[in-house]
Amino acid sequence: MAIQSLFMILSIMVVGEAFIAQTQTTTTTRTTTTTRMVDPATATEAATEFIPDWGAIQQNGLIALTLGGGLIPATIAANAGMIKTLSGRKGYVAEGEELGPNVETFENYDPNNTFDPTMGDAKNIKYREYVIDSGATGPELPSSNLLFAADAIPVADIVAVLGRIDNKDSLADWRDLPSTKRGTVTPGVDPPMWLPRKAFKVQIRKNKFLGWPNDPTTGLPVGGDELKRAEERRVAKKDALIGDAALDAVFDSWAGGASVATPDKVESTLSKIKPSGKNEVDLKAFTSAAVLGRANTAFAALTFVVIQIVAFGSLFVRPLIQSLTGTDIASGYL
């Protein structure tokens, strides 16, 4: 219902703007014809002369039922997926909620079709569980409100992730990913090397902590000495809890909201976050990369909404209003 209400409100806004533009045009016309007297009775009669075209209304209704029967349910499903993506909890399944038909699990995955290299090992199941709260203390990541995260992103969790990454090869054996074995391999051309988001999370949680990174500009521990003293022992433990919000923020810093990462983009982003190649992390550079990555998702969502307004307005709203009132709401725009 929320999606339908949103669409209705947006449609009304488009219609309202069109009527405003039409009113302004009418006012200008009256100003340029001040020498002509208009009888109020004549104006009222002219306004009531329009008769709705019921044949056109029925035709437009039939078109709406024909096209909308398949288009509207698909759009509702797409919008639900978009809202879930923007909510910040990618892959989260609430307690009691049934898994979707396309959700891979150890029990139902197809080894010949999966892109996830960690799916075939039962020991990885525990690393795939969604963690809302890792128990981290200390400050949150600066500007994390721009990442559309549903949960807090503590700096300590970001350290727990980036402190387990030495270089791009810390994430995967890129040339042995399932995606490299699909289709025909062209000699001299690298096959597609796609690392899924969930596989990235599993690998990071299994990686050994390399040590608390320092800020390359100050030489001090990321987040400060106090945070390091409070959190280093926790994040350095094997199988330490790491919140999915932090893992998603790191993944999006090079994937730009996509569901897979590629080695070239990972390497390019890491060169900015870890410019020296040592165990150092530029937290400001990471935050900028993460915000830019999520901005791509936001722009895609905005574009999708605009396309829907234009499509539904042209197919359904505009013809219906024109049939009922005789007013073409797009006359000032097209």
CA gap 251, 195 in Å, rounded: 10
CA gap 214, 182 in Å, rounded: 41
Token output for 143: 């500007």
Could you read off the pLDDT of 240-278 as tens digits, one per residue? 999 999 999 999 999 987 889 999 999 999 999 998 878
Q: What is the CA radius of gyration of the chain?
A: 28
CA gap 328, 50 in Å, rounded: 13
Token output for 201: 């999370």
Q: What is the pLDDT of residue 144?
A: 82
Instruction: Examine the pLDDT at 56 and tell me if it is beyond 80.
Output: no
CB environment 52-79: b (16+ within 10 A), e (fewer): eeeeeeeebeeebeeeeeebbeebeeeb
Between 141 and 53, residue with greater pLDDT: 141
Q: Of 67-71, 96-100, 105-109, 321-325, give the lowest mean pLDDT range.
A: 67-71
CA gap 49, 32 in Å, rounded: 25
280 CB-near residues (< 8 Å, 6+ apart): 213, 214, 215, 216, 274
Could you read off the pLDDT of 11-49 as tens digits, one per residue? 434 333 333 333 333 333 333 344 445 455 544 444 456
CA dihedral 28, 30, 32, 36 (to 10 degrees): 170
Task: Choose among 220, 217, 210, 211: nearest CA to 276.
Answer: 217
